[in-house]
Amino acid sequence: MKAREFDKVVTKLGMETRESKHHHAWLVHEGVTVVRTKRSHGDRKFVPEDLIRKQLHVSAEQFLGLQDCTVSKEEYLKILVAQGVITVAPKPS
């Protein structure tokens, strides 16, 4: 995975970012940080795809969907709910 592909996924998911020793990105859902990831600086650097995929809590197929823009942010949030990364509080009756 190239650095620009990583940046594309981060932008698509609306992740917040911070620059320091690395490019840090995290997804905030309803005021709670649910996933974090990072990559090294430099546009030509290789980003370890399997590590990023695990940090985003997706399968290889879902990760390709994020890269190819076939998985939307809403679908990604549903994946996180299904995996238990995001817990949905029951609505009061």
Q: What is the pLDDT of residue 92?
A: 65
Q: What is the pLDDT of residue 91?
A: 63
What mean pLDDT is predicted for residues 42-66? 81
Q: What is the pLDDT of residue 87?
A: 78
Mean pLDDT for the chain overall: 82
More confident residue, 48 or 43: 48
- Is pLDDT above 60 for 43? no
Q: What is the pLDDT of residue 44?
A: 59
Name the token pair of 37: 């990831």
Kindly list the domain boundaries of the chain, sorted by start residue.
3-82
Q: What is the pLDDT of residue 93?
A: 60
